Each structure stands twice: as C-alpha cells, then as structure tokens.
C-alpha cells in the first residue's frame, strides 16, 4: 500500500513537472516580452551614448583592468568585450553595433541570432561598469537571457512578416512550442525568486515592521521625483501601503499561480511599480519589472488584447484568431499549456 502510494505520487509529480515545463505553448506572450524588453534595452543603452568614453573608454573613470579586478575580488566570473577595446573609434563602432542589435531584437528581425547577441552585449555593458549596476540592468539581462531560449520572434515580429502567406491569404498561426513555454516558465520562476528575496530583505529592516518604510522612501530627497510628503499627514495610509507592499512581495510566489488570485496579484504589481517609477524617479526600473510580470499573462489574453477589433499581430491574420478560439476552448495556461487551476 505504501509502495503504491509512493509510486503514484512519484509518477504524478513527474507528470506535473513535465507538464509545467514542457507543454508546448503559444509564443504570443514571449513575443510581447521581446518587444518591450528589446525597447528597454535599446533605450537604456542609448543613454550610455551621452558619456560613452567616460564610462567605457580606455581612460574611463573605471579602467578595464580595475573593473575586472573588482569583479574578480567578489569571486564572480565575469566577461566583457569592452575590456578588449582600446580605440575610441572601435568603442563607438561596438556601441553602435549593440544598439542595432537591440533595435533588431525589439523589431523581431533575425530574432534567434539577435537574441543571443543582445544578451552578450547587455552582459558586456554591465560587467564593464560594475559600479553602475542596478536592478534595471539585472532585469534587462535576465529577460535577455531567457529570450535566447524560446522562439521570441515567432509572434509580433518582422520575422513573422517575412514568412510566406498561405494560398488563401493569411499566414498560418505560430505553432505552439515547448521552448516558448520553457522560456516563459523560467521568467516566471525567476520573478518569484526576485520578489521573495526582496521581501525577505525588507523584513530585516525595522522600518518595514514599524510601517515607516514607505514614508522614508518617498521623503528621501535623493530619490524624490514627485512630492508626496503629504503622506506625513496620513501615517495610517503610509503604514498600510508599507505592509501591503512587503506582504505582496512575500506571497507573490504563492498567490500568482492559482487562477483565482493571479489577477489580483498582477493588478497590485501596477501601482507598486508605477509608484516606484513616479515617486522615486526609477521609471525604467518600474517599467521593466512590469515587463517581467507579463510572463504571467496567458497567450490567449495577449492575443485578445493586441488583435481584437480585426487587427492581427505582426501579420498573423485570421489564422491566429481561429487558433486563439481553439486554444481558449482547450483552456490554456499562463505559460501556454492549460489554465492553471
């Protein structure tokens, strides 16, 4: 009896594991993340143009040798092709090439190759200036890494437009892909880990227990971009937002999976991250975190939002809408298999 129970539990667990990671998925969600992550990569690295030589040149504030030593002292293996660049002309050419790669990733042209190049470029930038590494750069690299795994150009891309049309006109819908599901699932798990440890870090600070953390954050002049010091007159509101934020982060990894609680959890992500963006001046960080949260939006909902009203994404045409109806009937999941219960 015990042996039978263990056998059935093992088989059920293995089947669930395989279903979670390896169920073929519609690449719509992955395609949307590619567009937004590519746009963020392009913008955030375009900003480096304003001080390219100061940060990445041979005579920069942090020399290539000093940057490599700083990373080596931390015990972390790191690599950057900027360490090899000494010529200002070559530095400019490498920077322009990286911007072109990020633009191609956003547009979805030659996506399979470009996604790999985009990841290598993004990592090279952050390893060259480790002192300027922040959460935005980490999420950029995380999303770029997982975009390499799946067919990120299979939806909402120029690669789709380059496909030949069917005999009757519209292009065939993008085929469900195991690698699309795997890439999105990895993003989902990574986001859960990020939020969990963010909450654990907050719980180590007294201000999160006392309810003062939100007030101390928005009142800090070094980060303040919008004056919300009126919260001083509403200490209860400040305490509530503090507690909601930390509990939301702590239980995100649990409540984001059930179909009943997922909409609420994702809805709370919007004010949390837009609040960070607007009140603390970290607009790009707030937006890229919302891009990461998009990994929990099911492909059928992405298609419904982007293709309703007779519009089709990246030339996918009526065939996609027919496939969308079919996948709705089969109850697809957040990552593209079946809707989680």
Answer yes or no: is 30 within a domain. yes
Q: Does residue 200 lie within any of the structural domains?
A: yes
Contact 136, 285 (CB under 8 A): yes
How many angstroms separate the CA atoms of 87 and 188, rounded?
A: 41
Quick one: pLDDT at residue 338? 39
Give the model's pLDDT for residue 167. Answer: 63
| In a domain? residue 163 | no
Range 73-111 burial, b when 16+ CB lie within 10 A, else e: eeeeebebebbebeeeeebbebbeebbebbbbbbbbbbb
8 Å CB contact between 328 and 300: yes
Q: Quick one: 145 and 98 in the same domain?
A: yes
| Closest to 288 measured CA to CA, from 41, 29, 112 | 41
pLDDT at 322: 36
Could you give the CA distance from residue 171 to residue 236 in angstroms, rounded to a whole number?
56
CB neighbours (10 Å) of residue 47? 9
Q: Are residues 72 and 144 in the same domain?
A: yes
pLDDT, residue 257, reads: 97
Tell whether 270 and 285 lie within a shared domain.
Answer: yes
* Same domain, residue pair 188 and 271: yes
Listed residues 93, 128, 158: the one ending a domain = 158
207 in the same domain as 107: no
Mean pLDDT of successive 10-residue segments in the chain (341 residues)? Answer: 86 93 96 98 97 90 82 79 92 97 97 97 94 93 97 94 74 88 98 97 91 86 80 88 94 97 97 90 94 97 81 42 40 39 32
Nearest to 336 by CA among 35, 32, 108, 113: 32
pLDDT of residue 330: 42
Residues 121 and 202 in one domain: no
Kindly state whether residue 69 falls inside one of the protein's structural domains. yes
What span, in angstroms and rounded, lies between the C-alpha atoms of 230 and 203? Answer: 25
Kindly state whether residues 311 and 268 are assigned to the same domain. Answer: no
Query: Is 331 within a domain?
Result: yes
On whether both 305 and 283 belong to a single domain, the answer is: no
- 53 and 37, same domain (yes or no): yes
Do residues 207 and 218 make contact, with C-beta atoms less than 8 angstroms apart?
no
The DSSP result for 142-158, as a single string, is HHHHHHTTTTTTSSSSH
Residues 6+ apart with CB under 8 A from 23: 178, 181, 333, 335, 336, 337, 338
Give residue 325's domain range: 298-341
Please indicate, yes or no, whether residues 305 and 293 belong to a single structural domain of this protein.
Answer: no
**Domain total for the chain?**
3
Q: Are residues 213 and 102 in the same domain?
A: no
């Amino acid at each position: 009896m015990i042996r039978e129970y263990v056998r059935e539990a093992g088989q059920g667990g293995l089947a669930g594991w395989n279903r979670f990671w390896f169920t073929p998925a519609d690449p719509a969600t992955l395609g949307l993340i590619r567009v937004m992550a590519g746009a963020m990569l392009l913008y955030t690295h375009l900003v480096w143009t304003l001080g390219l030589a100061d940060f990445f040149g041979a005579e920069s504030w942090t020399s290539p040798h000093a940057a490599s030593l700083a990373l080596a002292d931390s015990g972390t293996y790191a690599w950057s092709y900027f360490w090899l660049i000494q010529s200002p002309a070559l530095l400019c050419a490498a920077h322009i090439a990286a911007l072109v790669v990020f633009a191609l990733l956003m547009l979805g042209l030659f996506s399979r190759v470009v996604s790999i190049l985009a990841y290598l470029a993004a990592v090279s930038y952050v390893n060259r200036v480790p002192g300027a590494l922040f959460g935005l750069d980490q999420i950029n690299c995380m999303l770029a890494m997982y975009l390499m795994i799946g067919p990120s150009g299979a939806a909402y891309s120029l690669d789709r437009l380059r496909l030949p049309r069917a005999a009757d006109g519209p292009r065939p819908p993008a085929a469900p892909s195991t690698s699309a599901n795997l890439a999105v699932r990895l993003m989902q798990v990574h986001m859960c880990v990020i939020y969990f440890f963010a909450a654990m870090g907050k719980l180590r600070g007294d201000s999160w227990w006392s309810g003062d953390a939100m007030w101390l954050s928005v009142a800090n002049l070094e980060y303040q971009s919008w004056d919300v010091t009126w919260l001083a007159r509403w200490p209860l509101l400040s305490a509530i937002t503090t507690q909601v934020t930390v509990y939301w982060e702590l239980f995100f990894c649990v409540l984001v999976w059930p179909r009943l609680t997922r909409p609420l959890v994702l809805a709370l992500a919007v004010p949390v991250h837009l609040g960070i963006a607007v009140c603390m001046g970290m607009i790009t960080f707030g937006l890229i975190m919302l891009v990461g949260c998009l990994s929990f939006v099911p492909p059928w909902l992405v298609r419904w939002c982007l293709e309703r009203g007779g519009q089709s994404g990246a030339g996918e045409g009526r065939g996609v809408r027919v496939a969308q109806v079919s996948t709705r009937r089969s109850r697809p999941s957040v990552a593209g298999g079946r809707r989680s219960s």
